[in-house]
Structure formats: C-alpha cells, structure tokens
Amino acid sequence: MRDVLGGMTRPALALALLAAAFGAAAQDFPVDIPGITADPSRPPPVGLLLPEVELPDLVTPLAILDRLVVPGTRLQLEWRPRGGISNAEIASPVVVARGAMAGPVLCLTAGVHGDEINGVEIVRRISHAIDPTRLSGTVIGVPIVNVFGYSRGSRYLPDRRDLNRSFPGTRQGSIASRIADGFFQDIVKHCDMLVDFHTGSFARSNLPQVRADLTNPDVLEFTRGFGATVVLHSPGNRGMLRVAATAVGIPAVTFEAGAPTRLEPAEIAEAVAAIDRLLVKLEMLEDPDAGLAPPTDVAAVALEAPEPAPIFLDSRWVRANSGGLLISQVALGQRVLAGQKLGRVINPVTNVQRYILAPVAGRVIGMAQNQAVLPGYAAFHLGTETSEQQAVSEAAKPHGPEVVAEDSDERPDSVKESDGEDFE
Ligand SMILES: [Zn+2]
C-alpha cells in the first residue's frame, strides 16, 4: 500500500513541526527532542515538550487531473484522453471523495465496455453516496471509462478495438492503446486497489461475481473483503485493466454483474452492498452494525450470520448441441443437480426439441438469455463450490483444470473447445 502520509514517518513529522515552530531560533542552542534524543537523563529545554496527545495522521489534498481535492470533500472532475482523441466526445466523469482521515485509495471503474451499464450505475451510486467527512482514505469513481462506446451503446471503441485488451497502453500506439495509456497515467496510477465493473457479454448474464487471479497473494487478500460474493479464479487476459493494474502493484479484480445493455436493480444493489462491505473491511468506513447489541435468540443469530464467501473454481460452460430457440428452465444463482434440465432448444423447422442437461452438480453463475442459437453455443456457466485453500492450490497449478477463460473475441479461432466464453 502506498504511504498515505507521503513518506513522512511520525518522528519525521514531529521534527518538521518543531522546525517550523521554532525556525532559526532553534539553531541557536542544542535541541533535544523527547523520545528522539540519545540522552534521556538530560531534561528537555523548557517549551520544547511535545504535547501528550496523539498526532493525527496527516491527510494532504490529492493532486489529480490538475486539481487539488482537499480532505473531507468530494469533487467531480473530467477526464479526456490525451492528444485530441476525444475532441468531439463528452468527457469521462471522475468523482473523487477525499476522506477526512488517512487511508488507502480505492478506485472503482466501469463502462470500459460502453454497453455494460449496470456498472455505470453501480459506480455512480457509490461515488456520490460516500460521505467524505466519515471516510478514511479516498474513493475515485469513474463510471464511464469508455465514453466513446457508451455514447453509441457499444462495447467497443470507434476503431472496433476492445479497450479491455489495451491496458496499460502506450503513448505512440493505436487509438485504443493511447486511450488506455492516458487513463492509466492520469487515474490508475493514483490507486492502491481497483475494482473494474463488467457484465456478461453478447446476450449472456452473470451472477454477481468477483474474478481474480488467486495466485497473487495481494489480490487474494483483496477478494476476502467482498463478503458473501462469488469469487472465481481467473488469471485474466493480456491487456485487461485488472491485469495491467495488478502488474504494477495495484491489486485489482473484475466485478461481473448481470447482462449488457440493460439496468438490473437487483444486481446493482448486490454489487453496491459488496462494495459497502469492502469499504468496512478495508477500514475506510466504520461498520454501521458495530456497537449494536447482538441478537439473543438462536433463530435471529442464524439470520444475522453472514454467509461465507464461496469460491468457485471448477467452472465450465455447457453448450447447446442442436440449433434452434433456446428457452431456459433455470435461473441465475440456482443450484442444479447432475442430469438436471437446464433448458431446451426447440427447432422451429422440424418441431423437435432437445434438452440441455447439467453434466455436473453446481450453481448457475452465468447463462445466455433466451434466443436463437446454433449448435456449440455456450448457454450455461456452472460453478462448483470449493474451499479457498483448494481454489488457491488449484489456481497455482501450471495446467490446472479449466478455469474461466476470457479469450478475446477478436481471435475466435484461438478459442479452444475447453475454453469458456466469458469476455470480461
Ligand atoms: Zn466487459
């Protein structure tokens, strides 16, 4: 974690304050500072005793996007890619809540894919709801990273490139690479941790879930803060925002919630609640339940007890083996048994219908919306629960079992049969 005191330790801070208080006069006689002097038997000069009170952590204004955000305030700034790329576009809003107390910088980003608007609302809601006077640390919310795609209702940039395959980017690269570089330098470099919000893609929907590289200890620790949210091991693809951020020492995860092109209140609320829990876990906000009397009767205790965060590792996509109209018979989040019917595919020409069966027991963590499909279409994503310990040891294996693959849709030929079809 970055030193929020700007590298200034407490003794150094005390010295600096003393030097400022006494100025040149302090050089006219030897100064012994209590607690720092090598000779504790000598009494300190009169008037130089430090007060007994704890020095509060120093919170400085945050310098970002050519502005200063002072502690205890929120400021909405604008970000534009450098080099005149965005002349005709709206600016990307950047909401900075600088806490009154010291703490880490948590960045929340969404809309890297412009059609994934659940995340836009999630980040907007959290960023504007946080009370900076009660916050320890800083929350930087960027609800619409890819304003180009957002204004067109598109996943992509104007050149059809995927911004989430372009990080950290370069100054001299493609349009996507330059936009990524600008965002990385202007925003991401300020973060101590980052959550990037996405949804399922191409008419698929995801149960709210964190995707993280569990082989990275800092990322693993970060995932423990989301409470009862599904966590999937996923090393991610080159060019993803979370992969690039983690590579420079900023633990980062993707948070998937729902489907693209729509606003889903339940998924949005679940994600907002997960971030609220994260802020408490990171000690950036006080636990609203702290200090409340614990429930006394057993039933109430059972209701109050938080569900442990399940971790799914052995996830797999179940495909349609015939073409036609896909109609699901399960819901997101539902637990299914091996052999259970997940849905059916009806051929409207031959009037034949076939069922898609669950090959294993598990929980539906992603699924296609009802639609016309071709044989081979990935229709249901099943996750099998495992322990954190098991998830981490499986993730560490060089050729572990199938994990959530996130191959780029720009290279469909490279997608292996065993790969999933989740495009973060
Ligand atoms: Zn996405």
What number is the average pLDDT over the span 116-140? 98
Q: Using the predicted structure, report yes or no on whether residue 30 has a pLDDT greater than 80.
A: no
Distance 29 CA to ligand 1 centre (A): 65
Residue 4 pLDDT more than 70? no
Mean pLDDT lowest among 52-56, 146-150, 245-249: 52-56
What's the confidence (pLDDT) of residue 90? 81
pLDDT at 105: 98
Whole-angstrom distance, CA of residue 351 vs CA of residue 47:
95
Using a 10 angstrom Cβ sphere, with 0-12 exposed, 13-18 middle and 19 or more buried, the burial of residue 28 is exposed
Q: How far does residue 164's CA lie from ligand 1's centre (Å)?
A: 7
Region of 137 please: left (phi>0), alpha (psi -120 to 50) or beta: left
Ligand 1 centroid – CA 352 distance (Å): 35
pTM of the model: 0.79
Question: Ligand 1: distance of its center to the CA of 344 in Å?
Answer: 27
> Which pLDDT score is estimated for 315?
82
For residue 359, give both structure tokens: 């090959």
- Expressed in angstroms and rounded, the spacing between residue 228 Cα and the centre of ligand 1 is 22
Among the ranges given (15-19, 127-131, 221-225, 366-370), the one the predictor scored with the smallest mean pLDDT:
15-19
- Specify the DSSP class assigned to residue 111: -
Contact indicator for 373, 379 with CB cutoff of 8 Å: yes
| Amino acid at the residue 51 | P
Average pLDDT over residues 73-97: 87
Per-residue pLDDT for 143 more than 60? yes
Residue 300 Cα to ligand 1 middle (Å)? 39
Predicted pLDDT of residue 299: 56
- 386: confidence class by pLDDT, cuts 50, 70, 90: confident
Instruction: Read off the pLDDT of residues 249-281 as tens digits, 9 standing for 90 and up.
Output: 999 999 999 999 999 999 999 999 999 999 999
Ligand 1 centroid from CA 8, angstroms: 39
The phi and psi torsions of 190 (rounded to 5 degrees) equal -85, -10
- Strand blocks (E) in 189-236: 193-198, 204-212, 230-233
Q: By the 8 A CB rule, do 193 and 242 touch? A: no
Cα(198) to ligand 1 centroid in Å equals 4
Whole-number Å distance, alpha carbon 380 to ligand 1 midpoint, is: 18
Output the average pLDDT for the chain: 82
Name the residue among 89, 124, 119, 250 with its Cα closest to residue 184. Answer: 250
Tell me the CA distances in angstroms from 120 to 93, 115, 165, 325, one per residue in order: 11, 9, 19, 31
pLDDT of residue 400: 47
Q: Residue 165 C-alpha to ligand 1 middle, in angstroms? A: 10
Tell how far the Cα of 65 is from the centroid of ligand 1, in angstroms: 25
How far apart (Å, rounded) are the C-alpha atoms in residues 424 and 404?
10
Q: Where are the alpha helices (DSSP H) in 139-187?
A: 147-152, 175-186
| pLDDT number for residue 83 | 73
pLDDT for 303 beyond 70: no
Q: pLDDT per residue over 38-70, tens digit each?
A: 455 665 555 555 556 777 778 999 999 999 999
